[in-house]
Every structure is written in C-alpha cells, then in structure tokens.
C-alpha cells in the first residue's frame, strides 16, 4: 500500500550458517504501532537492526517511508528515531548535552532539551551527568533522544524491559503520544501485556519466521477461546462451572445454569496473547 510507513518483503539475514530471519514480509501503516513479539532469539532484534541500517539484509527488500534502505539509508535515517534495548548514552555528559548533540546532528535549531526532558519525566535533572541516573531514568532519556527529530517512524527495541512500573507507564504514554502526533511505531518486545495495550497489529516471531500477524482482537477471536467462569453454591461450599462462549448452545446453557443453580459470581475469561503465542508456536516467551 502506498501509505505504509514500513514495507518489508522477504527479508532474510543469517549469521554464518544460522538463518536468524527467514524471508519475512510485513507492513506497518501510517500512525500504526506494530508489536513485534517473540522470545529471545526469535529474530526480533535482527529484524530491528536490518530496518534501522545496522545490518544489511542478505536478501529481500525494505522501504521506510517509500525509501529503499539499501539505496537511501541516510535519507531514511534522518526521518526515523531509534531506541535501543541496552543503554548507549554518553554517561560522562549531562542529559541536556546528550540531547543537544543529537539535535545538532538532526539539525533541529529550535530544539528545547528541557521541554523534551519534561515530557519523559526528567525535568530538573537535565544538567546531571547521565552516569548518576537510575536505569529507568536512562531508558526515559533514551526514549527522549529517539524522538528529538520528531520521527515519522519510531523504532523501539524492548523499551520497558526491566523497568519499574512508573517508568514503563511513562514510556508507554510517550509512545502513544508519538502515534497521535503522526509517527508509526515498530516495537519489539516479549511483554505480551504491553503489546496488547499498545499495538494496533502484532506479529508473532518464532525461529526467524512470522507465525501470525494481525490485530490483537482478531488473533484472540481467531485463536482464543472465550468462556464464562461461574461460581455456584453447592451445599455448604462453592463449585465452579464453565460455559464456552461463541457456541450455538451458549445462550441455552447460560439460561439453564441460572435456572437450575444458585449463581454466586460470573466472570468472563479471554485468551491472552501469550496463550495464543504458545498455542501457535508450541513454546513460551522466556
């Protein structure tokens, strides 16, 4: 589609004899977030590196904003933002100095480091050396650095891995704000809950291949099993009953249960993305 921010076609990469990414294809639309999910070693970071120009694909093509990364990488890199999984800041410099350096590189004359630090919850600490920051603060600074140039595509590699809930939440807010501004987001993670909260589309990576690619809702509808979990009074105690939803006889089963038993509680139960991932790939996310 002409409006897709990222188009990958048959991308492949191998480390020696090991094929890390096996000819995958996908697209990310404008103002969309793609959650790239999978366990360690699934090929997420290799794909991330190919798309950001850190690795050259062995075969296949990829375009960012219509620019082929094998020909126009430099131009494309001017319009993307990249946040790495591991911290790679200039630790002997202050946060403001770090941000100002990248603002100069991107030629952002009206850039305000303080305003950006405020957005990621680091106001007041801008002049401190980064070496004195906690892991969560460094990661928020990494996010800030990745959006200096108001990127059209934001690449995020495990942006909340190992962070405290407050830092993770702040980072998720910034990601959603960036999408609102107009950025497309490529988000690699093995946190299914995070992907469920943020992503418009998710891709399940397993052993270098995409096992499934769809919206979280569609994946749950397609592969998940919905049910009602009902607790009823049984003598002096309680008993559990389960009614499978989306079946022709579901309505009758619900009516019969309420007519014949003393219902105490009713809860709906939905499949999680992790359940679906395990069902599709036969392996967990660890």
Which residues, numbered 23-52, are part of the site for other proteins (CB under 8 A)?
52
Residue 134 CB, shortest distance to other proteins, in Å, is 17
How many residues bind other proteins (CB under 8 A)? The answer is: 25
- Interacting span for other proteins (CB under 8 A) from 1-9, 78-86, 211-219, 249-257: 78-86
Distance, CA of 206 to CA of 181 (rounded, Å): 32
Residue 106 CB, shortest distance to other proteins, in Å, is 7
- Exactly one of 45, 46, 47, 77 binds other proteins (CB under 8 A); that residue is 77
Residue 147 CB, shortest distance to other proteins, in Å, is 13
Q: Is 132 in the site for other proteins (CB under 8 A)?
A: no
Beta-carbon contacts of 196 under 8 Å, excluding residues fewer than 6 positions away, are 202, 216, 272, 273
Which residues, numbered 142-171, are part of the site for other proteins (CB under 8 A)?
145
Tell me which DSSP letter residue 130 carries. Answer: G
> Which is closer to other proteins, CB of 19 or CB of 93?
93
- Interacting span for other proteins (CB under 8 A) from 80-88, 158-166, 216-224, 265-273: 80-88
Residue 184 burial (C-beta neighbours within 10 Å; 0-12, 13-18, 19+): buried
Residue 168: CB atoms within 10 Å: 19
Distance, CA of 129 to CA of 178 (rounded, Å): 27
Rg of the chain on CA atoms, in Å: 23
Residue 146: CB atoms within 10 Å: 21
Q: Is 74 in the site for other proteins (CB under 8 A)?
A: yes
Q: Is the dihedral of CA 174, 8, 20, 281 positive or negative?
A: positive
Residue 253 CB, shortest distance to other proteins, in Å, is 55
Q: Is the dihedral of CA 179, 182, 184, 188 positive or negative?
A: negative
> Which is closer to other proteins, CB of 76 or CB of 219?
76
Residue 158 CB, shortest distance to other proteins, in Å, is 14
- Interacting span for other proteins (CB under 8 A) from 60-68, 73-81, 249-257, 272-280: 73-81
Q: Is 106 in the site for other proteins (CB under 8 A)?
A: yes
């Amino acid at each position: 589609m002409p409006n897709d921010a990222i188009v990958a076609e048959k991308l492949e990469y191998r480390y020696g004899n090991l094929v890390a990414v096996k000819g995958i294809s996908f697209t990310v639309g404008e103002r969309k977030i793609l959650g790239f999910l999978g366990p360690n070693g699934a090929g997420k970071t290799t794909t991330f590196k190919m798309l950001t120009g850190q690795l050259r694909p062995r075969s296949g093509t990829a375009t960012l904003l219509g620019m082929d990364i094998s020909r126009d990488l430099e131009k494309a890199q001017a319009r993307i933002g990249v946040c790495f999984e591991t911290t790679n800041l200039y630790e002997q410099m202050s946060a403001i100095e770090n941000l100002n350096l990248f603002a100069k590189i991107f030629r952002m004359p009206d850039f305000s480091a303080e305003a950006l630090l405020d957005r990621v919850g680091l106001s007041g600490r801008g002049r401190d050396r980064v070496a004195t920051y906690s892991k969560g603060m460094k990661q928020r600074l990494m996010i800030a650095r990745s959006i200096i140039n108001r990127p059209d595509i934001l690449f995020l590699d495990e942006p909340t891995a190992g962070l405290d809930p407050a830092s993770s939440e702040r980072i998720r807010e910034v990601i959603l704000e960036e999408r609102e501004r107009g950025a497309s987001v490529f988000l690699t993670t093995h946190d299914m809950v995070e992907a469920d909260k943020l992503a418009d589309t998710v891709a399940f990576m397993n052993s270098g291949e995409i096992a499934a690619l769809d919206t979280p809702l569609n994946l749950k509808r397609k592969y998940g099993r919905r049910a009602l979990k009902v607790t009823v009074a049984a003598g002096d105690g309680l008993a559990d009953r389960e009614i499978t939803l989306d079946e022709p006889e579901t309505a009758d089963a619900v009516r019969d249960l309420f007519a014949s038993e003393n219902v105490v509680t009713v809860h709906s139960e939905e499949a999680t993305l992790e359940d679906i991932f395990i069902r599709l790939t036969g392996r967990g996310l660890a």
